[in-house]
Copies of this chain bind each other. A is one copy, B any other.
Amino acid sequence: MAKKTVRRKKMAAAPAAKKPRGPMSPRDQRTMDQLAGLAESVIVAADKRRDPHMDIPTRALSNVRFNSAKRFIEMGNKTNRRHLFNLSQAKSFMQTMLVASGTKQLIEQDKTTSIRGLYYLLKHSIEGTKEETFADQGECDPVIEDTEVLLSALREELHLYAQKKGDMVGELILEDRGDEIDCSRMGSGGYGIPSIVEPDVIRFKKCNAKFVLHVEKDTVWQRFNEDKFWRTHNCILTHGGGQPPRGVRRLLHRLHTELKLPIYCLLDNDPWGYYIYSVIKQGSINLAFESQRMAIPDAKYLGLRSIDLERCGLSESVKINLNDTDRKRAKQIANYPWFAKKKAWQKEIKQMLDNGFKLEVEALISRDISYVTEEYTPARLSEQDWLD
């Protein structure tokens, strides 16, 4: 053990004197102020010989509501108090401060990491005990979410990135950490949408697009890109590899709010497709806090629709029978407050249940390889035939 400790100290010496970061962005400065405020509150309490505590907004369904004026899901005002001097809360108090301190370190070094990286960064045995700071990542992730809501900071503002998936092409030139990316010159591969797309990293330079078409899957995206749909229709084409990750949702939100581009979603006609739309439009129930900077209440659901088997004259063979889970999920989604009052959505979901089958976007290929890009989507757009 002695040898290892010595070696570790020796090796650890080098990275200590790292190059200092450049001036902080206003975003980083704001997050740092919030982190400092959290630390300050503990010091103030200690000075006054009071028990340090923090009030963490409750992340539970009971504290989530649909704001019908803003048209997205938001958190309520309930909080949970977490005390340092309380046996059942001391550990999570410590963990929260640890996460805050880890993100401070990231911002100071102007570096980012994954939530798994942060977990490894913070995981250690507490000196003189056999107690680990975190048993596993499952114990760390909720504390990261606590810290987000506590500081009113998006995870990306804490310099944490999520899984990276999703690509973009189309009539947009942007700047990504100083590099100019022309999304209309990205070949068949496209620009891989980063996890952190905040304005200090990604700047929109020039946009000729009139709207964004967001498709569910990479395979459908490839069809649209190969047919250069975005050029013919003057748009931006994105996918999120199924349920879009945070980076993709945030980018769509920025394209919508800053460049005023309508967002049209081409998703499967099944409960999973409905749910993806719901998250893009109204925000996620689990992370309601982020809705304000993620949700796009004006996003439109372009299809597929429950009438499409007949309307498009598809082969009966492309039907996929609904299973019990599908039926249960469909009914749950129909009852979401933001769908419950919309007649068109109620009709749509009822029709799918009556059909007894679901339809994937790929099913349109039974008409023609490019039916989806040359007929289906152009028809929906020109007829303004979508669900809201």
Residue A190, interface by CB 8 Å: yes
Instruction: Provide the residues of chain B in CB contact with A161, threshold 8 Å.
Output: 219, 222
Q: Are A112 and B222 in contact (CB under 8 A)?
A: yes
CB-CB under 8 A for A188 and B196, given A112-B222, A161-B219: yes
The residue from B116, B191, B227 contacting A219, defined by CB atoms under 8 A apart: B116
Interface residues of A in 94-126 (CB under 8 A from B): 105-106, 109, 111-114, 116-117, 120-121, 123-125
User: Is A65 at the interface (CB under 8 A from chain B)?
Assistant: no
Partner of A192, one of B4, B191, B317: B191
Which of A5-13, A34-42, A67-75, A283-291 contacts its partner?
A5-13
Say whether A189 contacts B185, CB under 8 Å.
no
A138 is an interface residue with CB less than 8 A from chain B: no
Given contacts A187-B179, A194-B188, contact A121 B369 (CB under 8 A): yes
Residues of B near A317 (CB, < 8 A) are 123-125, 132-133
- Distance, CA A116 to CA B366, complexed state (A): 11
The verdict on A59 contacting chain B, using a C-beta distance below 8 Å, is no
- What per-residue 1/0 map shows which CB atoms of A334-362 lie under 8 Å from chain B? 00000000000000000000000000101
**A26 is an interface residue with CB less than 8 A from chain B:** no
Copies of this chain, tallied across the complex: 2
Q: Does A55 contact B (CB under 8 A)?
A: no
Q: Is A261 on the interface with B (CB-CB < 8 A)?
A: no
Binds B, one of A45-53, A163-171, A208-216, A295-303: A163-171
Docked Cα-Cα span, A123 to B366, in Å, equals 8
Which B residues lie within 8 Å of A163 (CB)?
Answer: 218-219
Of chain B, the residue at the smallest CB distance from A223 is B113
- Listed stretches A81-89, A146-154, A370-378, A380-388; interface member: A370-378
A and B contact pairs by CB, cutoff 8 A, 25 listed = A8-B313, A12-B367, A15-B370, A113-B369, A114-B362, A116-B362, A117-B219, A120-B318, A120-B365, A123-B317, A123-B366, A124-B315, A125-B315, A165-B165, A165-B218, A165-B241, A179-B185, A179-B186, A181-B185, A181-B186, A188-B194, A188-B196, A191-B191, A191-B192, A194-B222
Closest 8 CB pairs of A and B: A176-B187, A8-B313, A114-B219, A192-B192, A164-B218, A179-B187, A167-B192, A189-B194
